[in-house]
Amino acid sequence: MRRQSLVAAFALAYFAVQLTVPLVTALEHTSESPSDFSWDMFSYRVSCPTLVAGAVPDGERPQRIALDDLFARSAQLRRVLYPERIEALARYLCPKLQRDHSGHVQLRLWIECQFGPDEPPTPMTDRNRDYCATR
C-alpha cells in the first residue's frame, strides 16, 4: 500500500511539473529577442536607433505616432521591425488613422536598424513613402 502511495505521489508531482512549467512560460513570456529563442540563441540583438512613425492628415500638421505605446514590451516592438512585418503594421495602423482623422492620412515610417555591433544602421523603410496609399 505504501509503495502504491509513493508511486501515485511521484506520478502526481511529475504531471504537475509537466503542466505548470509550460503554462508559467506561456503566461510570463519575458524573452527580449526579436524572434524565437531557439533560432536566435547566439545571434546579435537588433538595435534600431531610428524609429519614427508619423501621421499626416490631409490639411493638418504631421503628428508623431509613439510606436512604443502600441506594444506592451520592447521585444514585441522589435519583432515588427522586419520588412514583411512593417507592411503588416501599416495595414493595421492605416484604417485606425483613417477613422481617427476622418479622411486620408499619410503614414510615414522612418526606421533604421543595426544588425551587428559594428555595422552601420540599415534603412528598413522608405521614409518618403505613404504606407497608407493604395497599392
| pLDDT single digits (tens) 2-49 | 888 889 999 999 999 888 887 776 666 554 444 444 554 445 566 777
pTM: 0.57
pLDDT of residue 43: 53
The answer to whether residue 133 sits within a structural domain is: no
Number of domains the chain contains = 2
Give the whole-number percent of the chain exceeding pLDDT 70.
79
Cell of 107: 503614414
Range of the domain at 100: 37-123
Whether 25 and 44 map to the same domain: the answer is no
Average pLDDT over residues 76-90: 79
Q: Which residues of 30-63 are buried (b: 16+ CB within 10 A; e: fewer)?
A: eeebbeeeeeeeeeeebebeebebebbbeeeeee
pLDDT of residue 29: 52
Whether 67 and 6 map to the same domain: the answer is no
Whether 43 and 99 map to the same domain: the answer is yes
Whether 11 and 45 map to the same domain: the answer is no
Whether 49 and 6 map to the same domain: the answer is no
Average pLDDT over residues 114-125: 82
The answer to whether residue 128 sits within a structural domain is: no
Whether 105 and 88 map to the same domain: the answer is yes
CB atoms under 10 Å from CB of 18, counted, come to 10
Cell of 9: 505521489
Whether 19 and 62 map to the same domain: the answer is no
